[in-house]
Amino acid sequence: MLIRDFREKDLVHVSNLVVETFNRNYNPEFYISLFERWKRGFLVVEDERGVVGVLVAAISAPKEARILLMAIRPEHRGKGIGTMLLSEFISRCFIADIKSVSLEVRVSNESALRFYNNQGFDVISLLPSYYEDGEAGYLMRKAL
Ligand SMILES: CC(C)(COP(=O)(O)OP(=O)(O)OC[C@H]1O[C@@H](n2cnc3c(N)ncnc32)[C@H](O)[C@@H]1OP(=O)(O)O)[C@@H](O)C(=O)NCCC(=O)NCCS
């Protein structure tokens, strides 16, 4: 298992993983613009067969990062890969002198809530009707 920076040739694999996970079909320019904005904040995990996970983040304010999406392929979940990927991202944040990392999660996404909780993220607030389908989200944050 290798964690590395995103490369343009990963685009189709990342896009497929996001469609599969979140049912979201973003255009390639969306990914490329995020990559251009913060290259070290766009990570993929690959095994010998290809991309199995992705984490995309942005700098949301001075010294603050926001995880925009994180997904591990369904058949690879629960094996510690998400933990590894998030740890690598947090290390990169330390190096970049980032002081806090935030993200939003659907209130119904119990496995992700538990996962982020285990990784030291706290629920900061409830975001009513945060998602397009009307579901609420939780804003979570981890201080570094
Ligand atoms: C949330 C997500 C990124 C976590 O990734 P993951 O690789 O499954 O995470 P890990 O395997 O590191 O940890 C998940 C659980 O497996 C357990 N685990 C860790 N290593 C393990 C191993 N070797 N074998 C079995 N279980 C293990 C962990 O204890 C953890 O338990 P928890 O559910 O109580 O937190 C992943 O489940 C996912 O892609 N979900 C769908 C997308 C999503 O919801 N994204 C977050 C919102 S943006």
Number of CB atoms found within 10 A of residue 132's CB: 7
Contact 140 CB / ligand 1 (< 6 Å): no
Instruction: Tell how far the Cα of 83 is from the centroid of ligand 1, in angstroms.
Output: 7
Give pLDDT, residue 80: 97
User: What is the DSSP secondary-structure string of 110-141?
Assistant: HHHHHHHHHTT-EEEEEETT-STTS--EEEEE
Give pLDDT, residue 9: 94
73/122 Cα distance (integer angstroms)? 25
Contact 18 CB / ligand 1 (< 6 Å): no
Pick the CATH number of 2-143 from 3.90.79.10, 3.40.630.30, 3.40.30.10, 3.30.2310.20: 3.40.630.30
Instruction: Tell how far the Cα of 1 is from the centroid of ligand 1, in angstroms.
Output: 15
Domain range annotation of the chain: 2-143
The token pair at 70 is 């994180």
SS3 15: helix
Give pLDDT, residue 126: 98
Q: Give the residues of the chain that fall short of pLDDT 50.
A: none
Give pLDDT, residue 10: 96
Nearest of 12, 19, 98 to residue 57 by alpha carbon = 98
Q: Is the distance from CB of 40 to CB of 96 less than 8 angstroms?
A: yes
Give pLDDT, residue 64: 97
Give pLDDT, residue 25: 94
Give pLDDT, residue 111: 95
Instruction: Tell how far the Cα of 115 is from the centroid of ligand 1, in angstroms.
Output: 6
Give pLDDT, residue 110: 96
Report how far apart, in Å, the C-alpha atoms of 65 and of each of 10, 57, 61, 70 are.
23, 7, 7, 14
Give pLDDT, residue 21: 94
